[in-house]
Structure 1
């Protein structure tokens, strides 16, 4: 018995080490990628209030209609590439990635058209016409970054699922430094204003994409997974789309809710105050979300690798370790926000009324950070297993059948205003966690391994036997 417990503890420690080795770098990659838009907005903020409002509105819209869509579609590669790598079908990583690149590049065309005619769309949803005009101009200058962003998302998944993360840290870190220099040069020195901020994002995104593409092309680490361009990639596009569509819905249904909360805050009494406070809260959530997202990326990689290798027991162990890390991160983030309860708002504003309001929101914000850490990890589990379709239904029900209606009732009927809007998000997060918990606990991991085998073109029967043998060995 003692020997068995010792073996179990050793396996847990080994899995924990693997996930931390992946999660740490992915947190930095996420922060560096997120910093591009944030740094651009910071430089625009030194111009004037109208340009800042236009750039902020434009950023919000391009995220909702463009970057988040591409992120959702590329998330299907968490399943395909991760499981193919685990099954040692190394050349298929390149094949799946090429197919995804082709699809995402095509998708950028209609998105670009939407961005060109952004102003009338924003006016229809009751945004200020002057700000909408500036947002449209900002979005138009961001169009060249779209295709680069799509390619970069695919490249990131390609490397991540092979556990190649440190080159991404170096590339994105270097890109962030370059971006600061570009913003300083274009916005302040050359006098291009917020156009320069958008141009800087385009150049930085392409720079990051090219650096990582060159790494893949020349690095011996990718010689088995990237064997050159292949026509075979086109044959796997239908399979990719079947998973990419629900994957996109899973990501966008959640992100669109946050944009909707900002729009609803504008309909509240004293809209300027409510919108400012909610924006601070949502930006805080976005900053703190980077840590559990790194855990989620590590978890999806480990789970998909083990399922692809036909090891359901190890895959389930990876799930447990992922959730343990997410729980720990959630507790740390909750404690950090509560410690900063009365001073956090000063990082964003010196207006007394806003500071008092933000302080009153902090317990809700801290609670949401803890719950969000768990649900983000569960979504990583879903991507690793290929549960994107189920995840899309969970997010639809959590946010649009429960969360948003609850927000409207508490904010407008019960007059809790911004607190009510954010309480709806917290409710949706809780429902998400409970639904994914039930799905995970009820999952048959040997069946999941067989599904992974079929997905990568292997034999489900052989994988079933392998997993049984593995269970015998581990017990």
Structure 2
């Protein structure tokens, strides 16, 4: 049956209309992806840069102390990598609870609550910092009990006292970062971090190399490097940089602290279980045959992985801010779209790095060592390094989604099960029973990260995001405080 002229014209119009709708739909999707990426990079780019500079501060201090003496370097490395990172993990993790609250309140346009949450975060972090002090006061006895050399332990005990001001710097640093990130105002953090790093390099050279102040000079420079950004952030927050969200100091910060404390503890547990995972890997490797080469190779791999992880942590910050903002504003579809965009972007970068380290891992090792044995071991481990980098491009983003949604306690249990009940036991069996050495331990660790990633993907995919919006709004209303601009703040 042939179509008449009118039918043919109608059919052509319908086809043209379908083509136009498809074109409009594609154009709308591209526009949404472009807009989401703009919002993503506003948070991610400064966060990545800030983490690179903070990571670099410790590397610079270690480099200058290495020129003072080998025992001084060993003492600094012990305190920095074990004790300071222990404290850092707890305080950063606790600050992530603030990230949930600030992000969701900002999305709900309860701007004045951010300043109150910030002050509550300071109170909780101050209490946690004082509880951590005995670790640094009794560093020497702790290290001796762990079997460390007495001379190095005594030196580490003296050096640990210099780290106490650095521990207290984390109170301001991490809380202000979460507060500013929630508002996408973290470029100021990047500028301050860059300035502090530059001053640290110059001051370290002057005090250690030129004027020969030794450990005192190196530690004074390190303390200033951590506190200079804090001074800048406090001035920015309290002197007009955040007029909507900072309404001054308030006694309301002391109200209803227990729920904030519980969320902060859950966040701390979640992050610490991740931070300590690599420490377990090093401790397990230290007891192996030919441990010196194994540890040198592993430290190079973990150093490379650590630098790459700074990128992933930047995306983690972006994910937590974007999800918290969208949940707070009541937009579940936008939250889901943000997750898809951030995971895709981070995974694309991770895949490029995966290919590079899979193909050239051994050659890159020459940047860190001249030992052929170490380079050979790194080349042998490079496939594991490449897969670690690939998983690191996904897992932190999903952790960021959890922080933005307020699931910290759930993820803490996931981390405990996947890392310490699956990853570590498998690593011990492969490394020691099957005599696969460091490779076996690392495979076990990778299995743990893989299990964690799969579980987080399942949780994220099966989540009812409309329900999460409702939970976020209840959380915002639960801690909502009405501010009367013409009088003192009062509870609603």
Fold shared by both chains (TM-score > 0.5): yes
Q: CA deviation at 1:368?
A: 0.4
Q: CA deviation at 1:189?
A: 2.5
C-alpha deviation, 1:187, in angstroms: 2.1
* TM-aligned CA deviation for residue 451 of structure 1: 0.6
Deviation at 1:201, TM superposition (A): 1.7
Which of 334, 348, 355 pairs up with 1:328? 348
Match of 2:472 in 1: 452
What are the Cα deviations for residues 275-316 of structure 1, in whole angstroms up to 9, with x where unaligned? 222222222111110111111111111110010001111011
TM-score using structure 1 length: 0.93
Aligned-pair RMSD on alpha carbons?
1.6
- The aligned residue for residue 72 of structure 1 is 93
**1:395 is paired with a residue of what secondary structure?**
helix
Q: Is 1:90 the counterpart of 2:111 in the alignment?
A: yes
Pair 1:211-2:225 in alignment:
no
Question: Do the aligned residues in 2 keep the contact of 1:410 with 1:420 (CA within 8 Å)?
Answer: yes
Alignment partner of 1:115 is 2:136: yes
Aligned to 1:472: none
Map of 2:382 onto structure 1: 362
**Matched residue, 1:351:** 371
From 378, 389, 404, the counterpart of 2:398: 378
Q: Map 1:16-415 onto structure 2 (within 5 A).
A: 16-219=37-240, 221-415=241-435
2: CA distance, partners of 1:209 / 1:47: 28
Distance in 2 (CA, whole Å) between partners of 1:194 and 1:346 is 30
Q: Do the aligned partners of 2:83 and 2:135 also contact (CA within 8 Å) in 1?
A: no
Once the two structures are TM-superposed, the CA of residue 38 in structure 1 deviates from its matched residue by 1.1
Mapped to 2, the partners of 1:141 and 1:99 lie a distance apart of: 27
User: Contact 1:100–1:237 (CA<8 Å) still a contact in 2?
Assistant: no
In structure 1, how many angstroms separate the alpha carbons of the residues matched to 2:102 and 2:462? 25
Q: 1:197 aligns to what SS in structure 2?
A: helix
For residues 269 and 290 of structure 2, the distance between their equivalents in structure 1, rounded to whole angstroms, comes to 33
Deviations 1:306-354 (A, max 9, x none): 1000111101111111111121121122123234322221222112211
1:439 matches 2:474: no
Q: Which runs of 5+ in 1 are unaligned?
A: 460-475
Q: Secondary structure at the match of 1:191?
A: coil
CA distance in 2, matches of 1:376, 1:197: 33
Q: How far does residue 63 in structure 1 lie from its aligned partner after superposition?
A: 3.2
Kindly provide the CA deviation profile for residues 31-57 of structure 1, in whole angstroms up to 9, marking residues without a partner as x.
111111111011112222222111111
- 8 Å contact 1:65–1:111 — kept in the other structure? no
Per-residue displacement from partner, 1:434-469 (whole Å, max 9, x unpaired)? Answer: 01000000100011001110111079xxxxxxxxxx
CA distance in structure 1 between the partners assigned to 2:195 and 2:134 by the alignment: 31
Query: Counterpart in 2 of 1:466?
Result: none
* 1:142–1:201 contact (8 Å) kept in structure 2: no
Out of 62-71 and 247-256, give the one that drifted further: 62-71
- CA displacement, residues 100-122 of structure 1 (integer Å, 9 cap, x when unaligned): 11111121112122111112212
C-alpha offsets along residues 247-302 of structure 1, whole Å, 9 cap, x if unaligned?
A: 11111011112112212221111222222222222221111101111111111111
Residue aligned with 2:361, SS? coil
Query: Residue 456 of structure 1: SS of its match in structure 2?
Result: helix
How many residues of Structure 1 are paired with residues of Structure 2 in the alignment? 458
1:402-438 per-residue CA deviation (whole Å, 9 max, x = no partner) reads 1111111111111111112221221111011101000
C-alpha distance in structure 2 between counterparts of 1:156 and 1:23, whole Å:
12
Give the direction of change, closer, same or farther, for the CA distance of 1:129–1:251 in structure 2 (3 Å limit): same
Larger radius of gyration: 2
Calculate the TM-score normalised by the size of structure 2. 0.90
For 1:7, which of 28, 31, 44 is the aligned residue?
Answer: 28
Q: Structure 2 stretches of 5 or more lacking a match?
A: 1-20, 480-492
Q: SS in structure 1 opposite 2:477?
A: coil
* Counterparts of 1:339 and 1:223, CA distance in 2: 51
Shift of 1:193: 2.3
Question: Cα offset for 1:5?
Answer: 4.1
